[in-house]
């Protein structure tokens, strides 16, 4: 019965744009566990017992618990006999990782280091590829997965990228700045000489889709070569280029309420966020931004008191 309920829940949420690949596995695994205990409803004690058998780390327990809480809320609305587990029973002490916000000079050093990366005899595209890849992410805030999934026909006329059904099954158009368009054109000229018949914008040596692990290893090597945040733990990530883009964009929105609102909506759409609350998180990224928001809040309080 719980297995059928899980299928209904997954189907409904996918119509809203969620992929729920891992959540589907978690819910069906719990449904099997509950069925073996002859239970037809979600029980908080069973949730805890299941988590203890399948999740080895606090992070894994928290992710599975979150999936089960949402599922239980869905069922509880139909039948109060379903119990909703407490959200704090498996909460990890470690919150969302603090992003590393790159300075403009650090991004320049990253691209310079990528342009001087070790060159292999059979990979003449290595240097220009990584310069373009990291530069594109820094200039557009694309997710790494979105950049690696780009194909040649995703480059639209007028310097627009077509980002196809990525996270939350959302597609969107990403316009490029003129400087990015010029850099992309130079890269495509070089790429045409070494990429064979591959239609991936950033192909591997074998002309297939570039592996994320390979890219992450390359980025860590480039950070060391560029001497960026060598003492920081955890180390900065490629994804922090996306955080940096969002942070710098929000820093330019000023303190006027109308401007902030328009900036938020535009940025949320540009980044491909399914919920604007995901965009709010970037407000915490820099002290300068928090100071501006504090000043704006004081102005609003003053206006309301008049």
The residues that are catalytic are 143, 167, 239, 242, 273, 282
At which residue do the structure tokens 């303190």 appear?
A: 255
**Crossing angle for the helix pair 126-140 and 212-226, to the nearest 10 degrees:** 90
Residue located via tokens 């959200």: 87
Distance CA 19, CA 15 (A): 9
Beta bridge partners of 174: 161
Structure-block tokens of residue 207: 């002309």
CA 135 from centre of chain: 17
DSSP summary character for residue 97: P
| First vs last C-alpha separation in the chain | 59
DSSP characters for 67-86? HHHHHHHHHHTT-TTS----
Strands 172-175 and 155-156, how do they pair? unpaired
What residues contact residue 23 under an 8 Å CB cut-off, 6+ apart? 10, 67
Q: Do residues 171 and 161 lie in contact, with contact meaning Cβ atoms separated by under 8 Å?
A: no
Contact 2/35 with Cβ under 8 angstroms? yes
Measured CA to CA in angstroms, residue 293 lies from 65, 148, 259, 288 at distances of 34, 35, 13, 9
Orientation of helix 126-140 relative to helix 104-114, angle to 10° = 160
């Amino acid at each position: 019965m719980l297995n059928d309920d899980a299928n209904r829940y997954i189907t409904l949420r996918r119509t809203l744009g969620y992929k729920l690949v891992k959540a589907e596995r978690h819910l069906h695994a719990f449904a099997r566990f509950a069925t073996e205990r002859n239970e037809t409803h979600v029980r908080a004690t069973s949730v805890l017992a299941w988590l203890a058998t399948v999740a080895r780390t606090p992070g894994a327990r928290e992710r599975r618990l979150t999936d089960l809480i949402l599922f239980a809320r869905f069922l509880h609305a139909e039948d109060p006999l379903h119990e909703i587990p407490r959200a704090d029973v498996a909460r990890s002490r470690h919150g969302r990782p603090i992003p590393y916000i790159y300075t403009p000079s650090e991004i320049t050093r990253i691209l310079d280091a990528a342009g001087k990366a070790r060159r292999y005899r059979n990979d003449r595209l290595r240097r220009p590829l990584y310069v373009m890849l990291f530069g594109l992410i820094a200039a557009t805030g694309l997710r790494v997965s979105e950049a690696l999934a780009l194909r040649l026909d995703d480059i639209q006329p007028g310097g627009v990228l077509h980002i196809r059904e990525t996270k939350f099954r959302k597609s969107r158009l990403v316009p490029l700045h003129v400087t990015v368009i010029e850099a992309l054109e130079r890269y495509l000229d070089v790429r045409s000489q070494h990429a064979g018949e591959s239609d991936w914008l950033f192909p591997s040596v074998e002309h297939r889709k570039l592996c994320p692990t390979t890219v992450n290893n390359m980025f860590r090597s480039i950070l060391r070569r560029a001497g960026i945040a060598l003492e920081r733990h955890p180390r900065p990530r490629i994804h922090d280029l996306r955080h940096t883009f969002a942070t710098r964009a929000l820093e330019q929105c000023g303190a006027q309420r109308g401007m902030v609102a328009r900036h938020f909506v535009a940025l949320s759409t540009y980044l491909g966020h399914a919920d604007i609350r995901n965009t709010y998180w970037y407000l915490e990224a820099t002290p300068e931004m928090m100071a501006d928001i504090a000043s704006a809040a004081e102005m609003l309080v003053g206006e309301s008191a008049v």
